[in-house]
Amino acid sequence: MQPSGVSARQRKPLSVRFFNRDAATVARELLGKLLVRRYQGELLVGRVVEAEAYLGQIDPAAHASAGQTPRNAVLFGPPGVAYVYFIYGNHYCLNVSCMPAGSAEGVLFRALEPVSGLATMAKLRGLDLRASELHDLRLAGWSSRLRSISSGPGRLTQAMAITREAHNGMALTSARSELFLADDGWRPERIAVTPRINVTKAADRLLRFLIAGNPFVSAKRIR
Q: Which is nearer to DNA, 174 or 198 (CB)?
A: 198
User: Nearest CA to 106 among 41, 189, 30?
Assistant: 30
Helix (H, G, I), strand (E, B) or coil at 86: strand
Give the per-residue contact string, 99-138, with DNA (x = CB under 7 A; - = no): -------x-x----------------x-------------
From candidates 30, 37, 49, 52, binder to DNA by CB under 7 A: 52
Q: Is 46 among the residues that bind DNA (CB under 7 A)? A: no
> Rounded CA gap, 30 and 84, in Å?
17
The H or E element that residue 153 is part of is helix 153-159
In whole angstroms, give the CA distance from residue 19 to residue 22. 8
Q: Where are the beta strands (DSSP E) in the chain?
A: 12-13, 34-39, 42-55, 82-87, 91-97, 105-116, 179-183, 191-194, 208-211
Q: What does each C-alpha distance from 96 to 114, 162, 181, 214, 221 come to in angstroms?
A: 19, 13, 10, 22, 24
* One of 26, 30, 36, 95 touching DNA (CB under 7 A): 95
Tell me whether residue 11 or residue 150 sits nearer to DNA (CB atom).
Answer: 150
Q: Does 27 engage in binding with DNA (CB under 7 A)?
A: no
**Nearest to residue 196, comparing CAs of 117, 124, 134, 106?**
106
Which lies closer to DNA via its Cβ, residue 153 or residue 188?
A: 153
* 70 near DNA (CB under 7 A): yes
Which of these segments, 1-9, 34-42, 57-65, 205-213, binds DNA (CB under 7 A)?
Answer: 57-65
Asked whether the beta carbons of 54 and 94 are under 8 A apart, the reply is no
Q: Mark residues 140-179: x for contact with DNA by CB under 7 A, - for none.
A: --------x---xxxxx-----------------------
**Interacting residues with DNA (CB under 7 A):** 52, 54, 61-64, 66-67, 69-71, 75, 83, 86-91, 93, 95, 106, 108, 125, 148, 152-156, 196-201, 218-219
